[in-house]
Amino acid sequence: MASNIYLVRQRISRLGQRMSNFQLNLNPLKEPLGFIKVLEWVASIFAFATCGGFKGKTEILVNCPPKVPENKTITATFGYPFRLNEASFQAPPGNVCDVGWNKFVLVGDYASSAQFYVTFAVFVFLYCIAALLLYVGYTNLYRDSRKLPMIDFIVTLVVTFLWLVSTSAWAKALTDIKIATGHSIVKELAPCHSEGLMCHFGSVTGMGSLNVSVIFGFLNMILWGGNAWFVYKETNLHSPSNTSASHTQGGIPPPTGI
């Protein structure tokens, strides 16, 4: 028991000594491994910023002659995380066709897909910062270790898969959001089926930034998938441990020079 505690303390002490030897080395950023990691970091920012910062509204035009001969605009405001079933309609001041419009809401709840996408992008952003810090500050520790490159490789594969899953789910949710906030609103609103009340679809906020978020999601998947090869090259699966140890035990010494 005492020997095990001693070994653990010894390992922690060695790790602490290695972590204290921070040396800034920007050369890894000039290599594909570090350069692509910077691109991944930037792409993850665009992914969660273009989705998480969205706010929009959809409008319908209502009139009920002769009470309201002119069109009145009824507005529903929505945004991230896209719980549309909580976005109620708001009418201008005054009674519009004797309808309590704030009792009616949009249809659908897409928070799970949106929040999964944004939360995952934020975690990727943080992981990229940690990986870049390891690359440029502890280059020798990373390349002399067997575990760190292997962990990095496994994480890269998992992240690539999760980018595919999260982006596909978010792309499907975005398609449904466009439908739920588009012309179909008129069909879903019960007052619009009342006799003497006419509803027309007005407009909806453009969702170009949300389309960009989907593009960056798939771009992230491509970046991480491509970078998997360069991370793999750092592992002992591609570069087995040096055999010099066996040569020092009586084997043939390795050739020198070319």
Summarised one tens digit per residue, pLDDT across range 85-110 is 999 999 888 778 888 888 999 999 99
> CA-CA distance, 11 to 231, in Å (whole number)?
26
- Classify residue 258: in a domain, yes or no: no
How many whole angstroms separate alpha carbon 191 and alpha carbon 105?
12
Label residue 50 exposed, middle or buried (CB < 10 Å: 0-12, 13-18, 19+).
buried
Any domain includes 4: no
Q: For residues 209 and 134, give the distance between their C-alpha atoms in angstroms, rounded to a whole number.
A: 33
Q: How many domains does the chain have?
A: 1
Going by pLDDT thresholds of 50, 70 and 90, the confidence category of residue 240 is: low
pLDDT tens-digit series, residues 65-78: 777 678 889 999 99
Single-letter code of the amino acid located at 238 = H
CB 177 within 8 A of CB 108: yes
Residue 12 belongs to a domain: no
Residue-wise pLDDT for 181-238, tens only, equals 999 888 888 888 888 888 899 999 999 999 999 999 999 999 999 999 999 998 888 7
In a domain, 203, yes or no: yes
Q: The domain containing residue 156 runs over which residues?
A: 25-233
Contact 77, 86 (CB under 8 A): no
